[in-house]
Amino acid sequence: MNSVKKVARMIDKHLWGILNAIVFGITNAHAEGINSRIQHIKKMASGFRNRQRFKNSIYFHLGDLELYPEGLCYWS
């Protein structure tokens, strides 16, 4: 099969995704950014003792959690 036919079949298979990306401007850039940050956490930790600690680290760093919720900060 020549390369033109391969490309035509690929476009036909992914046509709705291509059209959605063009019309709505939707990309997977946000998901790729999150994945990049998770990989950075994994690299910095040099391994975790178990999966739950890895999950906790991801939630802590990427969860946009308030470390000190309003009203519980004693020094302000």
Q: Is pLDDT of 76 > 60?
A: no
> Tens digit of pLDDT for each residue in 22-40?
999 888 888 899 999 999 9
Between CA 59 and CA 64 the distance in angstroms is: 8
Find the distance separating the first CA and the last CA of the chain, reported in whole Å: 70
Listed in sequence order, the residues at least 6 apart from 11 whose beta carbon sits closer than 8 Å to its beta carbon are 18
User: pTM of the prediction?
Assistant: 0.56
Cβ neighbours around 31 below 10 Å, total: 9
Between CA 22 and CA 18 the distance in angstroms is: 6
User: H helices within the chain, ranges in order?
Assistant: 3-13, 15-24, 29-45, 51-62
